[in-house]
Structure 1
């Protein structure tokens, strides 16, 4: 029932961030990045990826150069994501939709829902600028919502394509966000991976130790607030809740999806998918360097139903 797409060795072919960062071009786009660029032992330009300020400035340069986003600021302590890996998720979702409906008449009709868009609004930016999709980003955090809305309104290229909405119920995922009669071709989510703050901090400490910087344990170069990194029951419980609640919107969404960081969670999640009557599902594996992540996608529609579904223009209300 759940095929596994073969594991790619590199970023998705359409990912704009192949190979090493071109720091000459990036600093030309964002001159403030130059203050963080240094030379590594091989004589190549790089930044200190353990420095949150350097990572933030690199992201600003990448967004300006590749996605025409001129304003991008985050509140202190909020997640500053690695952009190349985020882009892969979007591109693999585009492939998933293309397999379901290769002749979609107008790509700009595609409606995407990003669950937990965060203050960084990265997924909507990449989707809107790479494919021209209409994207709704939802979140439960008022500070994140204000920051995301400011990024959208401050960038003319984003304003017509991205809508930021509040999820009023912390226990709900789709209810309160998807209106009656509203339809989405795709949903996506980068769920909180950890079950507790202690688990998140232990993972961070292991990373710093592996980098030879154990004294920085407890710090995260990509930051992140509690609801962005951990929740009760962690990833397994969150994605399980998402699957269960997706039944209520089985006719309004063509493909639901979520990242799944741990291989061991796939089996129980696949079992749950079968129990709720999912008709199609896929596991799409992605690799960025040594990191392997997975997209779990599911649909309550058959392939024939999806083609018929995609022929109708979704409501944007």
Structure 2
């Protein structure tokens, strides 16, 4: 029988929800310190309406410069660059997913976080930014495989890895040749993964993606009609932002495809942006015979997100896995 567990971080109505305790981005950005790590950030720093140093988060170049500074200062990544129009994700939220994944492994390992190259994770949709593998390796020394259907994204992620000595040999990027497959064609016959992770496309169509883009621009007090303000401030290619059926269909397809690899993975996981999608996700997980399902809530400011984790391993198989590979 499938066991479903929910693990939540909640605050009072007036309390700001916080990032994971180990997340180094919990405090307000120290822009002077970050500018010391990356001089490119300095020209974008200005006073906001409250008199605090900040950047214009509606400016894609400013957001990219901030990410570069954060990755340099906190993770020792000296070179990081992505092509125009590719997803430039907010680093604090990405780090939160990684730290909660570490807790997920810890709960199956007597409270100790498994570290080092013995832990292998598969990032479905690594993107050009390669952020999840960077953070996961630098924080916990895990080894990663990152997959993507976009060749430019894969080549860019590979360039980031090869340009940083602290990442070489620990992150492998593989091109997925089929946009219908998530694991097949990437997962080698002799491979096992302790974790899979994914930030699935959220929108169900290009039109809905564009509507959300306009809403975000207005929320950032930008001119939504300006010619250079048609994309999201964090960018993103179509395959990163939308797919037929949106997030719900994508995750349900992932669940179906995970069955064939169930004995070679400890935890499959995926972010779930829309809470309403959980009902169909739980139903599908029960249908395919998942042995245990966990839902972990995460928070950044007043925004609450979550990820769902599932395993096909029986309890004795999980104990054997942890004793064999994590010690």
- TM-score over 0.5 for the pair: yes
Equivalent residues, number: 314
Counterparts of residues 97-176 of structure 1 (less than 5 Å)? 97-102=105-110, 107-176=116-185
Secondary structure in structure 1 of the residue aligned to 2:224: helix
RMSD: 1.5
Distance 1:263 1:106 in 2: 31
Distance 1:82 1:212 in 2: 19
Distance 1:177 1:111 in 2: 14
The equivalent residue for 1:196 is: 205
Contact 1:205 1:214 survives alignment (8 Å): no
Return the TM-score normalized by structure 2.
0.93
Q: CA deviation at 1:76?
A: 1.3
Gap runs ≥5 in structure 1:
none
Return the TM-score normalized by structure 1.
0.96
Question: Which of 38, 43, 52 pairs up with 1:35?
Answer: 43
Contact 1:287 1:293 survives alignment (8 Å): yes
Q: CA deviation at 1:180?
A: 1.1
Secondary structure in structure 2 of the residue aligned to 1:78: coil
Question: Which of 231, 237, 246 pairs up with 1:225?
Answer: 237
Show CA shifts across 1:214-254 (max 9, x none).
Answer: 53563210010000000111111110000000000000000
The equivalent residue for 1:93 is: 101
Contact 2:105 2:114 survives alignment (8 Å): no
Gap runs ≥5 in structure 2:
11-16
Distance 1:105 1:22, change over 3 A: closer
Contact 1:101 1:306 survives alignment (8 Å): no
Contact 2:103 2:113 survives alignment (8 Å): no
Distance 1:165 1:125 in 2: 16
Secondary structure in structure 2 of the residue aligned to 1:251: helix
Q: CA deviation at 1:2?
A: 1.9
Secondary structure in structure 1 of the residue aligned to 2:173: strand
